[in-house]
């Protein structure tokens, strides 16, 4: 949307005549690749023109262009279109203004330089003209447009604007003759180097009166006439540009931000174009076309790992009189300067031609400007993926050994970011790589080594969880120019379901109820060489567990993929808590199994006693009878009718279903008698057990025994005995001596608890 809004302005007539010669260069066809730029130029009898890498354009004339390398100590180089040769210019700063004249300064910033040198690059053998601004009268550099040097001087607290024509007399060493601009009135005006000044004119950013009302003042340097555009109270103008036919600037109004555009022959008929670009985004003009974009800077391009600015706005041209008519001229850009004939020279890139210096030239009929590449860096704007080596599926063993993922990129001078996400939990890890300094066009391989540890920060080396993983690789040329490469892929980690693995990472977990009734999950991870497992992170499951007088992990009885738990309340009701496989919410909401379970004083589960592939439940009643509850895999009715196995089990005060402890494939059972002797009952896979064998004595030192499956990673079932701490008993797989010597283990990290299961 746009509209004309006449406002109170002091306006003086302006007439502009521009006669600047444009350099004759041949545009490449749209299909030409960056590598073909020099080849085609040579085939057509032209010299190859190269734009320096890691540099910006700071001046351009009919005969060549001025570039500035990036860094703390920049180099200024004039490159000629005719033969591609270049000349280094001494000086700490430099600028051009649409002709082959170049101004250099003795300070890093031209506006604070005391001594300027004017170089006529069309006459490479001519000595530069030295201008001592202090000796001339205390002036400061304000800009260069065409053959006019713009100066400023502080006079009675106000910055008065001056102009010096760099005519043949001055270039021959004559004394410059500064002339006042803006009628010499005492107003505060910034220099004319804020944006592009072209078309034999300069656009100043000024403040008027004691209220410092914002204003733009356009000066015709040929006639000295000026046109004032005064902003309404509270409005603020900044970046501006002028061409032979138009003037435009960014403006902030109470209704929002936008661009004001006017025809110089009808300055009262402004066009308002809403635009939300930031304060630092310059504005340029090519005839009657506005050119805007977001400048790319080296320091801005390190945000590929998820920063606030992952992509850049393209360099776009829009008709000042028909704002709905626009097109993308360049993928991105880093600098732009006025060129001859009202053209704009832009350092940027396109997907077709790659990186380099582009000339955007107005057409006499006001139609869409021409865009052509005039000097190439040889770099591709587009970063492409040449190939990759990423898995589709990983087993637990593969993850435990570590995995390398690799990607081959077309540009070595790219900053690369990688995000890997565990999809079920949403946990994410980031990594990044800076440019390796290799020349553009050289392929580069990015390798990411995953050590097989969980992606969740702070979980102290827990194994990676099962499930789907998503990776996303982003790459952008290190100077921030060009589109971002963004590729994604997926792989999965799969392991067989493991007993006591509540968070689906293949390692044993322990559930513990503290004295306040809060339930906690404590993770473990296998240690090297079968040593005692190490503790990883802990997570709070929830409160209210003091309502139960019995808690037991019973394995996967309800048909899911994670182990389940049962809890009995004081009324004798047994409740099922299905496992979810989620680290922070390992148990789903409870469902009622049934009542009458107060007749049992010992309940255990986790061993496949019947040989059907599902763990079963065993319960000993107060009369000493042992009952088998065969699991169904159905959460609504998880057990079949109970079956009596035998009597005399009242001699035991602890029963622990261990799974396959002896390596025979059946579910086994440990029983501790009241004298502290531990007995092993080997399962027969038919719902019965073999005759017991003695494991050892002294087990009455422990309050409870918890079968944790394979916690040390050696493939055999293990046991945790607990009281005021934990002792780990590594399984041997030998029925005659099922455990190695116990070893202290801080698996609950010193927490207090009254139940561990």
* CATH number of the CATH domain containing 540: 2.115.10.10
Number of H helices, E strands in the chain: 4, 56
Q: Is residue 255 part of a domain?
A: no
Cβ count near 430 (within 10 Å): 14
- The verdict on 401 and 427 lying in the same domain is yes
Tokens linked to 655: 């029963």
Q: Please list, in sequence order, all residues whose beta carbon lies within 8 angstroms of the beta carbon of residue 699, skipping any fewer than 6 positions away.
A: 654, 672, 676, 677, 678, 705, 721
pLDDT of res. 537: 84
Say how far apart CA 503 and CA 587 lie, in whole Å: 10
Task: Answer yes or no: are the C-beta atoms of 292 and 281 closer than 8 Å.
Answer: yes
Tokens linked to 456: 């969740």
Q: Is residue 242 part of a domain?
A: no
- The verdict on 62 and 86 lying in the same domain is yes
pLDDT of res. 188: 74
Residue with tokens 């749209």: 30
Q: Is 650 helix (H, G, I), strand (E, B) or coil?
A: helix
Q: Is 561 helix (H, G, I), strand (E, B) or coil?
A: coil
* Residue 440, domain CATH: 2.60.40.2550
- The verdict on 629 and 732 lying in the same domain is yes
- The verdict on 444 and 535 lying in the same domain is no
Tokens linked to 623: 């009369």
Torsion sign (Cα): 77, 79, 85, 89: negative
Exposed (0-12), middle (13-18) or buried (19+): which is 640, by Cβ within 10 Å? middle
Torsion sign (Cα): 604, 610, 612, 613: positive
Q: Is 386 helix (H, G, I), strand (E, B) or coil?
A: strand
Say how far apart CA 693 and CA 561 lie, in whole Å: 33
pLDDT of res. 578: 96
CA 343 distance to own-chain centroid:
36
- The verdict on 436 and 529 lying in the same domain is no
Q: Is residue 443 part of a domain?
A: yes
Q: Is residue 583 part of a domain?
A: yes
- The verdict on 370 and 390 lying in the same domain is no
Is beta strand 743-745 parallel, antiparallel or unpaired with respect to 726-729? antiparallel
Distances (CA, A) of 253 to 211, 237, 272, 274: 17, 9, 11, 10
- The verdict on 527 and 624 lying in the same domain is yes
Say how far apart CA 703 and CA 678 lie, in whole Å: 13
Say how far apart CA 705 and CA 657 lie, in whole Å: 10
Exposed (0-12), middle (13-18) or buried (19+): which is 379, by Cβ within 10 Å? buried
Say how far apart CA 292 and CA 312 lie, in whole Å: 12
Distances (CA, A) of 413 to 379, 382, 440, 478: 9, 12, 5, 6
- The verdict on 662 and 694 lying in the same domain is yes
The closest of 691, 709, 311, 307 to 507, measured between CA atoms, is 709
What is the domain count for the chain? 3
Q: Is residue 110 part of a domain?
A: yes
Q: Is residue 15 part of a domain?
A: no
Among 379, 394, 428, the domain boundary falls at 379
Per-residue H/E/C for 61-94: CCCEEEEEECCCCCCEEEEECCCCCEEEECCCEE
Among 331, 347, 379, the domain boundary falls at 379
Say how far apart CA 489 and CA 77 lie, in whole Å: 45
Successive 10-residue mean pLDDT values, the chain, 757 residues? 34 25 29 43 56 93 95 94 95 94 95 95 93 95 92 87 93 93 74 58 85 87 89 86 92 88 92 84 93 69 39 85 95 91 93 93 95 92 92 90 93 90 94 77 88 80 91 85 87 90 92 96 83 89 96 91 94 96 92 96 94 94 96 92 95 95 90 96 94 96 94 91 93 93 92 94
pLDDT of res. 297: 56
Q: Is residue 205 part of a domain?
A: no
Q: Which domain holds residue 598?
A: 509-756
Sheet holding 509-513, edge to edge: 534-542, 519-525, 509-513, 755-756
Exposed (0-12), middle (13-18) or buried (19+): which is 299, by Cβ within 10 Å? exposed
Among 329, 348, 379, the domain boundary falls at 379
- The verdict on 552 and 635 lying in the same domain is yes
Q: Is residue 90 part of a domain?
A: yes
- The verdict on 362 and 416 lying in the same domain is no
Which letter, b or e, does each residue of 226-262 get, where b requires 16 or more Cβ atoms within 10 Å of its Cβ? bbbbbbeeebebbbbbbbbbbbbbbbbbeeebbbbbb
- The verdict on 375 and 419 lying in the same domain is no
Say how far apart CA 322 and CA 1 lie, in whole Å: 10
Say how far apart CA 529 and CA 688 lie, in whole Å: 35
- The verdict on 561 and 656 lying in the same domain is yes
pLDDT of res. 579: 94
């Amino acid at each position: 949307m746009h509209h004309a809004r006449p406002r109170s302005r002091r306006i003086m007539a302006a007439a502009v005549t521009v006669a600047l010669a444009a350099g004759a260069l041949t545009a490449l066809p749209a299909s030409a690749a960056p590598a073909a730029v020099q080849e085609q130029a040579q085939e057509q009898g032209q010299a190859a023109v190269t734009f320096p890498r890691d540099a910006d354009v700071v001046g351009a004339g009919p005969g060549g262009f001025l570039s500035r390398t990036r860094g703390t100590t920049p180099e200024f180089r004039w490159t000629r279109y005719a033969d591609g040769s270049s000349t280094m210019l001494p000086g700490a700063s430099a600028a051009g203004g649409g002709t082959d004249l170049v101004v250099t300064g003795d300070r890093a910033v031209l506006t604070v330089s005391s001594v300027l040198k004017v170089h006529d690059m069309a006459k490479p053998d001519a000595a530069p003209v030295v201008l001592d601004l202090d000796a001339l009268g205390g002036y400061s550099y304000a800009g260069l447009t065409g053959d006019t040097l713009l100066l400023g001087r502080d006079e009675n607290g106000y910055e008065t604007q001056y102009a010096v024509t760099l005519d043949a007399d001055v270039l021959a060493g004559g004394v410059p003759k500064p002339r006042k601009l803006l009628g010499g009135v005492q107003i505060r005006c910034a220099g004319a180097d804020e944006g592009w000044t072209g078309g034999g004119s300069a656009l100043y950013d000024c403040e008027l009166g004691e209220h410092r009302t914002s204003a733009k003042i356009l000066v015709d340097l040929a006639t000295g006439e000026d046109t004032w555009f005064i902003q309404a109270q509270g409005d603020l103008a900044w970046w501006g540009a002028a061409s032979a036919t138009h003037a435009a600037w960014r403006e902030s109004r109470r209704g929002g931000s936008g661009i004001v555009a006017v025809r110089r022959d009808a300055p009262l008929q402004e066009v308002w174009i809403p635009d939300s670009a930031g304060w630092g985004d310059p504005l340029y003009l090519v005839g009657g076309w506005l050119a805007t974009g977001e400048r790319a800077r080296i320091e801005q391009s390190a945000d590929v790992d998820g920063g606030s600015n992952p992509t850049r706005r393209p360099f776009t041209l829009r008709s000042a009189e028909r704002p709905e008519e626009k097109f993308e001229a360049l993928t991105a850009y880093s600098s732009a300067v006025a060129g001859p004939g009202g053209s704009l020279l832009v350092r940027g890139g396109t997907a077709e031609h790659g990186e380099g210096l582009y000339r955007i030239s107005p057409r006499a009929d006001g139609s869409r400007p021409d865009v052509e590449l005039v000097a190439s860096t040889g770099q591709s704007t587009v970063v492409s993926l040449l190939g990759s080596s990423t898995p589709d599926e990983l087993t637990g063993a593969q993850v435990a050994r570590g995995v390398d993922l690799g990607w081959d990129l077309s540009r070595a001078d790219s900053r690369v970011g990688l995000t890997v996400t565990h999809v079920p939990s949403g946990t994410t890890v980031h990594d990044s790589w800076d440019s390796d300094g290799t020349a553009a066009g050289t392929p580069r391989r990015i390798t990411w080594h995953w050590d097989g540890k969980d992606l969740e920060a702070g979980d102290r080396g827990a194994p990676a969880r099962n499930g789907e993983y998503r990776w996303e690789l982003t790459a952008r040329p290190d100077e921030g120019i060009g589109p971002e490469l963004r590729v994604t892929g997926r792989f999965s980690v799969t392991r067989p379901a493991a007993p006591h693995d509540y968070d689906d990472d293949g390692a044993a977990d322990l559930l513990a109820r503290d004295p306040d009734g809060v339930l906690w999950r404590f993770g473990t991870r296998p240690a090297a060489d079968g040593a005692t497992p190490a503790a990883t992170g802990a997570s709070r499951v929830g409160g209210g567990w003091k309502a139960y007088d019995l808690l037991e992990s019973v394995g996967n009885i309800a048909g899911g993929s994670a182990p389940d738990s049962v809890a009995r309340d004081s009324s004798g009701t047994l409740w099922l808590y299905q496992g979810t496989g989620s680290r922070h919410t390992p148990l789903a909401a409870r469902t009622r199994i049934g009542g009458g379970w107060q007749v049992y004083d010992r309940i255990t589960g986790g061993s496949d006693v019947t040989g059907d592939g599902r763990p079963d439940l065993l319960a000993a009643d107060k009369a000493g009878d042992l009952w088998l509850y065969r699991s169904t895999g159905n959460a609504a009715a998880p057990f079949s009718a109970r079956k009596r196995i035998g009597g005399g089990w009242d001699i035991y005060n602890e029963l622990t279903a261990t799974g396959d402890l002896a390596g025979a494939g059946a579910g086994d059972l440990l029983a501790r008698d009241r004298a502290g002797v531990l007995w092993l009952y080997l399962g027969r896979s038919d719902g019965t057990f073999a005759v017991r064998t003695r494991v050892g004595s002294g087990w009455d030192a422990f309050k409870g025994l918890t079968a944790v499956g394979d916690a040390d990673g050696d493939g055999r079932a293990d046991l945790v005995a607990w009281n005021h701490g934990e002792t780990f008993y590594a399984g041997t797989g030998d029925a005659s001596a099922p455990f190695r010597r116990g070893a202290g283990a801080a698996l609950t990290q010193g927490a207090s608890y009254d139940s561990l299961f």
